[in-house]
Amino acid sequence: MWGESSDLVNDTLCNAVVSAGIFSQLNQEQTDKIVTAVYEAGLSNRVKLAKMAAEETGMGNWKDKTLKNAVATQYVYESIKNQKTAGIISENFESGISEIAQPIGPILAIIPCTNPTSTVMFKILIALKTRNPIIISAHHRALESCRETVRICYEAALGADAPEDCIIFFERGSREDTKNLMCDKRLALILATGGEGVVKAAYSSGTPALGVGAGNVPVYVEGSADVPFAAEQILISKTFDNGTICASEQSIVVEQQLSEQLKQELIARGAYFLSGEEIAAIEKVAYDKEKQTMAADIVGQSAKRAAEMAGLNIPDGVRLLVAPQKHVGYDYPLSCEILAPIIAYYTVSGFDEAVKHCIDLNFHGGIGHTVSIYSNDEEKIKAFGMTMNAGRVLVNTPSSQGAVGGMFNTLTPSLTLGCGTGGKNITMDNVSARHLLNIQRLARRRVNERMANFDSSLYFDENIDAKEIAKRFNINH
């Protein structure tokens, strides 16, 4: 507006910072009114937006995308609606500490093509709840559905007296534009969900970033597991939206004594076990060996379509392709993350071998993300959890829905799943509104009684060691 340049990036950021300023004046009640209006608009348009996303991206199916939209609005709203995010959010007389929530400023949201409309609505809700304007940068395969989502949310926000430009759709410019946007000092945070490249670009920009990495989720069916239940849950999860959720199971690891039963239970529910030749054919279409990652064209395709792409004839009604495997690594493509209803299957001798196998899978492109176990042995569940490097260790739960939270457990509902430092992320949490606030602490005088009674000149006496200092410091305490 009054910047020197009138280019796309400058205009976008000028509008965003003005909006941030105006937003900072709103109180909790005014903020919540906006969030409620946007949530209602998003939830009301869940089907329309799901159909648009499925059609535009050619990934997944509209029914599952509708459920994702419902989670991204209803479940997320339920989890944040009562949170205090403006002004004084807590006061403790004893400690003398009051916490004050401040907005962080303009947020750039990077949106993946696998979950476009749901991720847009989720990020908009948590940004508005924290009084931060948000700039939506959508994947080129999901531009129209994301643009429409933004339009719906923005209209609803303005109708509830939100500041102008609190939601901005970033019309895709050049690669340079995106880079400049990420690097601009007026931007407060990048909320990046997507492939490794975009997450790395976000972290490398110099702007604070909450990026989430890729997953490679092993699901361990332990000796005490309820096998039919496990088979049912794995099918529900891995076939959901044709496997586009990064927390979906990528490999089943099962103990020898349960393997045949699990196989039959999976087959009874629509799984198809591939032969060696069929596996080789699927590998060719599912994995890009040069880039060492899943092939873009396989993402979100049905089992039937994936089989067709590989030139395979599979029975009608097959929902999941299962590929028995022995090894883990880049020479074994199906041991890598494939966001489609294709899953690797490992049979192992017992607990130790299973856990070691899961470690290999966990560290093969999925560090910090999610792992899953079906078991009724609490000790083994804990031992498994303590060995893995995963933000979410899901127990007897479909991992796609379980990791997202709110449905099968009490994890915070989120479509941005932190992977910790192993995944080059700053958090392992399910990212939500609380991550988009600067919390100021107003600290009133509360003198440390031990310090007041301690002769601090003793610190300068070299003959007094740590134990003696601690003793005198804590005397009569």
Partner 1 sequence: MSMKRINEKYKVICCFEGKMDTLSCKELEKDFDQILSECKSDNMPLVFDLAGVDYIASSFLRLCGKAAQQIGVEKVSIANVTPQVKKVFKIAGLADVLTVS
Task: Return residues touching partner 1 (CB under 8 A).
Answer: 1-2, 14-15, 17-22, 24-25, 105, 163-165, 186
Tell me whether residue 2 or residue 460 sits nearer to partner 1 (CB atom): 2
Whose CA is closest to 170, among 194, 150, 192?
150
* Other CB atoms within 10 Å distance of the CB of residue 248: 30
What's the rounded Cα separation, in Å, for the pair 274 and 306? 12
The pair phi, psi for residue 23, each rounded to 5°, is: -60, -35
Q: What is the CA radius of gyration of the chain?
A: 25
Quote the least distance from Cβ 86 to partner 1, whole Å: 13
Quote the least distance from Cβ 442 to partner 1, whole Å: 16
Quote the least distance from Cβ 11 to partner 1, whole Å: 13
Tell me whether residue 169 or residue 408 sits nearer to partner 1 (CB atom): 169
What's the rounded Cα separation, in Å, for the pair 142 and 152? 16
C-alpha dist (Å) from residue 20 to 109, 160, 435, 442 = 15, 17, 17, 23
CB 311 within 8 A of CB 339: no
What is the chain's length? 477
Tell me whether residue 106 or residue 112 sits nearer to partner 1 (CB atom): 106
| Bridge partner residues of 122 (DSSP) | none
- Give the dihedral of Cα atoms 433, 212, 232, 226; nearest 10 deg: -90
What's the rounded Cα separation, in Å, for the pair 343 and 324? 9
Based on the residue annotation, tell me whether 419 is a catalytic residue of this protein. no
Quote the least distance from Cβ 150 to partner 1, whole Å: 18
Quote the least distance from Cβ 28 to partner 1, whole Å: 15
Instruction: Given the residues 113, 153, 166, 246, select the one marked as catalytic.
Output: 246
Tell me whether residue 8 or residue 22 sits nearer to partner 1 (CB atom): 22
Provide the sign of the torsion angle of the four alpha carbons 23, 29, 31, 37, taken in this order.
negative
The pair phi, psi for residue 393, each rounded to 5°, is: -110, 105
Instruction: Enumerate residues 6+ apart whose C-beta is below 8 A from 471.
Output: none
Tell me whether residue 164 or residue 177 sits nearer to partner 1 (CB atom): 164
Q: From edge to edge, which strands make up the β-sheet containing 134-138?
A: 167-169, 134-138, 107-111, 189-193, 209-212
Region label for 419, one of left (φ > 0), alpha (ψ between -120 and 50) or beta (otherwise): alpha
Quote the least distance from Cβ 23 to partner 1, whole Å: 9
Exposed, middle or buried: residue 473 (CB in 10 Å: 0-12, 13-18, 19+)?
Answer: middle
Quote the least distance from Cβ 169 to partner 1, whole Å: 17
Tell me whether residue 51 or residue 186 sits nearer to partner 1 (CB atom): 186
Tell me whether residue 24 or residue 74 sits nearer to partner 1 (CB atom): 24
Quote the least distance from Cβ 187 to partner 1, whole Å: 12
Q: Coil, helix or strand for 474?
A: coil
Instruction: Enumerate residues 6+ apart whose C-beta is below 8 A from 442.
Output: 97, 98, 99, 100
Tell me whether residue 12 or residue 412 sits nearer to partner 1 (CB atom): 12
Catalytic residues: 246
